[in-house]
A = this chain, B = another copy of it.
Amino acid sequence: MEFLVQIDVSMPMELPEEERADLLSRERALGRAYLRDGQIKHVWRVPGGLRNIGVWEAEDATDLHEALAALPLFPWMRIEVTPLARHPITVVGA
C-alpha cells in the first residue's frame, strides 16, 4: 500500500556541529537505501526548509512506522501520513 509522507525536520541546533553532520549523513544513507529498495518510491524537497514529501510503499501502517522510526533524525521530525488509494482515472478499462 502507498502512503504520502510529509516530513519536517527541526535540526537540533543545540547539538555540536559534527554530531549534526553525522546524523544528517546517516539520515541520507538510509534514505538512499530505502529509495533503492522501494520503500520510498518518490521523494521531493519542499523549497524553503528541511521539509520533504515522499510516496512510501509499505505492507501496512505498522510496517511504515518501523521504517520511519528507524530514521536517525526521527526524534526531531514532525511527520504527517496520508493513506493513498487508487484513483479511478489510473485504472485501465475503468
Contacts and interface: CB of A to CB of B under 8 A. Distances in A.
Interface of A: 1-5, 11-13, 28, 31-32, 35, 42-49, 52-55, 60-62, 64-65, 68, 75-90
Contact of A1 (B1, B53, B55, B79): B1
A26 B3 CA distance: 28
Nearest to A10: B75
A28 B88 contact: yes
Count of this chain's copies in the oligomeric assembly: 10
Contacts of A35: 89-90
Contact of A81 (B5, B76, B83, B86): B83
A32 to B, nearest CB: 5
